[in-house]
Chain A
Amino acid sequence: MNQYDAIVIGAGHNGLTNGAYLAKAGLKVAVLERNPYIGGATVSRELHKGWWYSNCSYVSSLLRPEITRDLELPRHGLQVVSFGGGATFMRNGDHFGNYSDHDRHYREMARHSKRDANAYDRYAADTSLQTKLIRPYLMRTPPDPTSMKPRDLRDLLEFARSFMDLGEEKLLDTIKFWTASVGDYLHEYFETDVIKAHMAGSGIIGTALGVYSPGTAYVLLHHYMGDVDGNVGAWGFARGGMGAIADALSKAFQSYGGEIICDANVDEIIVKNGQAAGVALKDGTEYRAPVVVSNLDPKRTFLDITNPSDLPKDVLKKARNFKIRGSSGKLNIALDGLPVFNGLDPRNRLMAGDLHFSDSLERQERAYDDWKAGTWSKDPYLDMMIPSLTDPTMAPPGKHMMSVFVQYAPPKVEGREWTDEDKDGFEKSVIDQISNYSPNFRDLILHCETRTPREIEAEVGLTEGNIFMGELTFDQLLFNRPFPGYAQYRSPIKGMYMCSSGTHPGGGVMAAPGANAAREILADLKRPNTVPGGYADD
């Protein structure tokens, strides 16, 4: 008998985290995964012999430290190595280097603009204020503003108070920040095109919006609110690729007695008398449990694997209207050696950071215009990294591995499905972009693997290839994620829950949705809570 206390559908990092906390509470838990491997978008794969790729997500910062410690992930093999800096190459042969050393950073900024260099500390302080405001809410269930339950009222009041405590002026800054475009926000501080463009990238990654679309300042925050070893805003590489995070989580899960079943493609959630009762696989196998948790995005959860007759009409409508447009692609490239970039000494430590080629907001906005027109960007914004410079285990000695995240690529090309020719065209626009700044790059390519939204959807099951499992706009954040009224990880069906990045606090390798969902499930089961609370910042 395939009888469990809880079944988690999907072995993405959130599914594994959720499973780990349920198992830790003593439940008999199975995680069912469609692919032959675990991790979902948090995965390392050897798709070219000798080269390990972080196939989807490639850098770590958002992963909640509470969870890393609580589940003892380092003991299960996780090591995150932070990288410093990055650069944006300019069309005039110069570049802007984003050094992590404060003084060096100041000098580099001043080389472009003294005024900007002087504004930077103010920018950093203001942005850090926003980060501090949001961080305490990452490991909490959002309150429902329409509810009269004491718990919601209490949490809402507390939430409101943390905003009121800012004082009038800072509160207005905050409102502005949450609603502004990243372009306008940066404009308040900086005058230099390349500096603004360098920073604006974080406001559009994974987002179907442009640098001048309101709401993108928040997306910037989403990329600033993590940390590596307590260093807020820092990003790092997981040694061995992002799959190391999924592996460590799976080991923690298994150490509590959890069971992972791969090649288990869930077809439908079984509901009996309005209560979740288990799942049926495509091959007909059934697994029974009174608790079923979906690690799939809200569209797949409610429109694919749930029988519509088990759902209220409004939820079906909300699921249909859920915004999950793909906007990104990725190239994973095996290189015969280290590429050289115009104007940058290959030994410069900036080489180990994030490298970009869009030197103005104008170019970034134009790249978005292509997306709106239903095609990939002809002058794409790239977030390019060479992880093998930091983690030599990723490629054979002397060789390198390059990860190129591409903004923008539409979920459909001019309204139709992607074709292989489209994919080639997309790939070419990226390779051309890099070659413009690196004369030897093209000759070093040994193997190039291109991921358009089509491939991302097919491999990982991220609908439309949206990397965050739903756009990070205010209508889909906090108590609105995935939809108003259902932001507390419960579905309308008793015993059925959501734990994916499509729930609060959203996408990225964060593990918070999985952990928060576990806390709610354990409360419903009247089991002691095993999920750690959030840390407070100073």
Chain B
Amino acid sequence: MTDYDAVIIGAGHNGLVCASYLAKAGKQVLVVDGRHEPGGCASTREFTPGFNVSDCAQWLSQFDQSIVKDLDLKGAGLRLGKAKATISLQPDNDHLILDGDHVTGAGIDAVDQAAYRDFRKMVRSFAKLMTTLYRSRPPKLVEQNWTDRLTLMKLGLRLKLLGRERLRDLMRIVMINIYDVMNEHFTHSALKSTLALEAVTGTNMGPRSPNTVYSYLHRATGEHLGQTGTTQVIGGMGALGKALALAAEKQGATLKLGAAVTAIVKTNDRVTGVTLASGESHIGKSGDFQC
């Protein structure tokens, strides 16, 4: 078969978003995935009769809301719950609750509460800077091309706009560890550990490993991507996968599930198609095939 402009291997949420935009731009797109459900790590599974679980990811906190709008995911059935507070359970039932800029409970004092507000303010300004990078392709640093130059210029401007003191703070903390930064800002130990957990979740680093402040900031970008706080997808993360799949199909993309790719076909140093486990192969239209 030689019907597509592009084949996307993997119907994870990124594959589906990519497919939707390509299809929206009028390309003929095929998405193939080895699994029988779309969404990849954004999936829901019935793990015991009557009980469903988000298989991998469970919380949505960084999904770019402009994509929700562009691809009309609400129309495709996506529903999000309310933003959730973070609760650090304490043995004496006086739990620490982090909600937006406010932190209460577990005997936290006014000094730490104020410090938390300041900390959030600082984090917000840094995360805003990072979204400048997140919303464009990672710029090449040396190569002369205008797209990347523009990104770098925007970044430079944003850095200047931070103001001198903030910029100095950023220079100092961006590559260090969350352990030190927590101790610099707070005295409340449950608050420190709750925030530090955000910085190490999903990494193979401990709170004392340098670069964990960066991973904390990474997770804080959500707010600038239009998401206010951490939410749950109604129906589990799989509902996001399904909504994305539906949206992709609405844009005209073709989805083929249960079709694992075994090889990428190359002709003369050019990618021209894929071979599936079934033996079937998809060869792109001559010339502008992308994979």
B-contacting residues of A (Cβ < 8 Å)?
Answer: 145-146, 164, 166-168, 171-172, 179, 209, 212-215, 314, 321, 323, 372, 473-475, 479-480, 483-485
Contact = CB atoms under 8 A, between A and B. Distances in A.
Given A171-B141, A473-B176, A214 B171 contact: no
Contacts of A167: 142
A459 B30 CA distance: 72
Contacts of B205: 214
Nearest to A175: B141
Nearest to B184: A321
Interface string B172-196: 1101100010001000000000000
Interface stretch (B9-17, B40-48, B54-62, B208-216): B208-216
Contacts of A475: 171-173, 175-176
B167 interface: yes
A171 B142 contact: yes
B171 A168 contact: no
A473 B184 contact: no
B143 interface: yes
A480 B171 contact: yes
B133 to A, nearest CB: 14
A296 B175 CA distance: 26
A146 B164 contact: yes
B140 interface: yes
Contact of A213 (B164, B167, B180, B209): B209
Which 7 A-B pairs have CB atoms at the shortest separation, nearest pair first?
A484-B168, A474-B175, A214-B210, A215-B210, A475-B172, A475-B176, A168-B142
Contacts of B171: 145-146, 475, 479-480, 484
A209 B179 CA distance: 13
Given A474-B176, A475-B175, A475-B176, A213 B210 contact: yes
B247 to A, nearest CB: 35
Interface centre among A146, A168, A209, A372 (most CB of B within 10 A): A146
A2 B88 CA distance: 61
User: How big is the B interface, by class?
Assistant: 20 to 34
Nearest to B173: A475
A314 B184 CA distance: 13
B10 to A, nearest CB: 25
A491 to B, nearest CB: 16
B142 A215 contact: no
A164 B184 contact: no
Nearest to A169: B142
Contact of A179 (B141, B143, B167, B175): B175
Given A171-B142, A209-B210, A321-B184, 16 more contacts: A145-B171, A146-B167, A164-B141, A166-B142, A167-B142, A168-B142, A179-B175, A213-B208, A214-B175, A214-B209, A215-B210, A473-B175, A474-B176, A475-B175, A483-B168, A484-B168
Given A146-B167, A213-B210, A480 B141 contact: no
A213 B211 CA distance: 9
A167 B165 CA distance: 32
Nearest to A172: B141
Given A171-B141, A475-B176, A146 B210 contact: no
A479 B171 CA distance: 9
B222 to A, nearest CB: 24
